[in-house]
Structure 1
Amino acid sequence: MTAMMLKPHYRTVWISDVHLGTRGCQADLLLDFLNEVTADTYYLVGDIIDGWRLKKSWYWPESHHAVITTIMDKAKNGAKVIFVPGNHDEFAREFVDMTFGHIDVKMNDIHETADGKKLLIIHGDEFDGVVKYAKWLAYLGDTAYNLAIALNRYYNGIRRKLGYGYWSLSAYLKNRVKNAVQFVCNFETAVAHEAAKRKVDGVVCGHIHHAEKRMIGDVLYCNDGDWVESCTALVEDKNGKLELLYWAEMRQMAMTHSQPGRDAASSPSLGLGKLMSLFRITGESTGAASQSSKKGNGTPIGKTA
Structure 2
Amino acid sequence: MHPSDDIRQFRTLFLSDVHLGSKAAQADLLIDFLRVHEAETIYLVGDIFDGWRLKRSWHWPQTHNDVVQKLLRKARKGARIIYIPGNHDEVMRGFPGQHFGGIEVRVSDIHHTADGRRFLVMHGDEFDVVVRNARLIAYLGDWAYDAAIAINSVFNRVRRALGFPYWSFSSWAKLKVKNAVSFIGAFETALAEEARRQDCDGVICGHIHHAEIAERAGIQYVNTGDWVESCTAIGEREDGSFELIRWTRPVSVPTTRRRQGSVPLGVPALEEAA
In structure 1, the partner of 2:269 is 300
1:52 aligns with 2:52: yes
Partner of 1:204: 204
Q: Which whole-Å CA distance do the structure 2 matches of 1:149 and 1:43 have between them?
A: 25
Residue correspondences, number: 271
* Per-residue deviation, 1:301: 2.9
- 2:267 & 2:79 partners in 1: Cα distance? 35
Distance in structure 1 (CA, Å) of the matches to 2:50 and 2:141: 14
Tell me whether 1:263 sits opposite 2:241 in the alignment: no
Deviation of 1:100 (Å)? 1.1
Q: Once the two structures are superposed, what CA deviation does each residue of 1:190-210 show, in whole Å capped at 9, x if it has no partner?
A: 000000011111110000000
Higher-helix-fraction structure: 1
Q: How many angstroms apart in 1 are the aligned matches of 2:205 and 2:243?
A: 14
- The answer to whether the Cα contact below 8 Å between 1:213 and 1:303 also exists between their aligned partners in 2 is no
Distance 1:183 1:228 in 2: 20
How is 1:267-278 mapped onto 2 (pairs within 5 angstroms)? Answer: 267=255, 270-272=256-258
Q: Which moved more, 1:44-53 or 1:95-104?
A: 95-104
Q: 1: CA distance between counterparts of 2:271 and 2:17? A: 19
Distance in 1 separating the partners of 2:267 and 2:182: 19
CA distance in 2, matches of 1:263, 1:151: 23
Alpha-carbon separation, structure 2, partners of 1:43 and 1:302:
23
Distance in 2 separating the partners of 1:218 and 1:144: 35
Q: Who is 1:103 aligned against?
A: 103
Deviation at 1:217, TM superposition (A): 1.1
Query: Contact 1:226–1:233 at 8 Å: present in 2 too?
Result: yes
1:1-305, aligned counterparts within 5 Å?
5-248=5-248, 251-252=249-250, 263=252, 267=255, 270-272=256-258, 299-305=268-274
Cα distance in structure 2, aligned partners of 1:4 and 1:62: 26
Cα 1:130–1:303, aligned 2, differ >3 Å: closer, same or farther?
farther
Quote how far apart the aligned CAs of 1:96 are. 1.1
1:169-200 C-alpha deviation (Å, 9 max, x unpaired): 11011010000000000000000000001111
What is the identity percentage for the equivalent residue pairs of Structure 1 and Structure 2?
49
CA deviation map 1:252-281 (0-9, x unaligned) = 4xxxxxxxxx525x73xx353xx66xxxxx
Corresponding residue SS for 1:41? strand
Return the structure number with greater strand share.
2
Which structure has the larger Rg?
A: 1
Aligned to 1:257: none
- Matched residue, 1:279: none
Q: Do the aligned partners of 2:81 and 2:103 also contact (CA within 8 Å) in 1?
A: yes
How far, CA to CA, are the matches of 1:61 and 1:76 in structure 2? 23
| TM-score where L is the length of structure 2 | 0.94
CA distance in structure 1 between the aligned counterparts of 2:81 and 2:88, rounded to whole angstroms: 19
Mapped to 1, the partners of 2:170 and 2:6 lie a distance apart of: 35
Structure 2 unaligned regions, length at least 5? none
Counterpart residue type for residue 59 of structure 1: H
TM-score by length of 1: 0.85
**Amino acid of the residue matched to residue 239 of structure 1?**
D
Task: List gaps (5 residues or longer) in structure 1.
Answer: 253-261, 277-284
Contact 2:6–2:36, Cα closer than 8 Å, also in 1: no
Cα 1:193–1:74 change in 2 (3 A) is same
The residue type paired with residue 212 of structure 1 is E
CA contact (8 A) 1:246 1:302 kept: no
Shift of 1:97: 1.3
Return the letter of the residue paired with 1:222: V
Runs of 4 or more above 6 Å deviation: none
Deviations along 1:61-109, whole A, 9 cap, x unmatched? 1100000000011011100000000000001011111111100000000
1:239 CA displacement = 1.1
CA distance in 2, matches of 1:108, 1:4: 34
- Conserved? CA contact 1:152–1:168, under 8 Å: yes
